[in-house]
Amino acid sequence: MTLTIYGLECKSTKKARQWLKKHEIPFVDRNIIKEPLTVNELQEILRRTVDGTDGIIATRSKIYKELNLDVEELSLQELLEILHEQPRLLKSPIIVDEKRLLIGYHEDEIRQFLPRSTRKSQWMNWRLNNFNLAEG
């Protein structure tokens, strides 16, 4: 299973990289400024999001404000082409593998990329520790 981080050189992307390295999860790192996402890659990411374009567009970014975009007025194809040309419009990082997608760095949500056996082991340890605390 190949895990890929699409990101900018920002704090959230750095945290995600550090977390994955700490947990020994191999990943491919792709700087979206140097190598922007293609329209097809953007379509695939959008297909997997729950929130559609709202989930991937950084509406608080400087470039979003400068471009004064009205996403509702654009066709999907126009929007995808703008996102390809202006990768700073994307939230960062975008972390994907064959089954999962995470937009941004969220310490609880990134755990989904841990192997199931590791998650189960950590959960059992947590449960055991909390059970012992409750008795002690």
pLDDT digits (tens, 9 = 90+) for 73-126: 999 999 999 999 999 999 999 999 999 999 999 988 999 998 776 655 555 565
The percent of residues above 70 in pLDDT, for the chain, comes to 86
What is the model's pLDDT at position 89?
A: 96
The residue annotated as part of the active site, out of 3, 4, 10, 64, is: 10
Q: Is the predicted pLDDT of residue 127 greater than 90, yes or no?
A: no
Question: Quick check: helix, strand or coil at residue 88?
Answer: helix
User: For this structure, is 20 an active site residue?
Assistant: no
* Mean pLDDT score of the chain: 88
Return the structure tokens found at 6. Answer: 């699409």
Residue from 94, 90, 26 nearest 61 by CA: 90
Helix-strand-coil split of the chain, %, nearest 5: 55, 10, 35
Question: Quick check: helix, strand or coil at residue 4?
Answer: strand
CATH superfamily for domain 4-135: Glutaredoxin (3.40.30.10)
The pTM of this model reads 0.83
Distance CA(77)–CA(73), nearest Å, equals 12
Query: What residue spans define the domains of the chain?
Result: 4-135
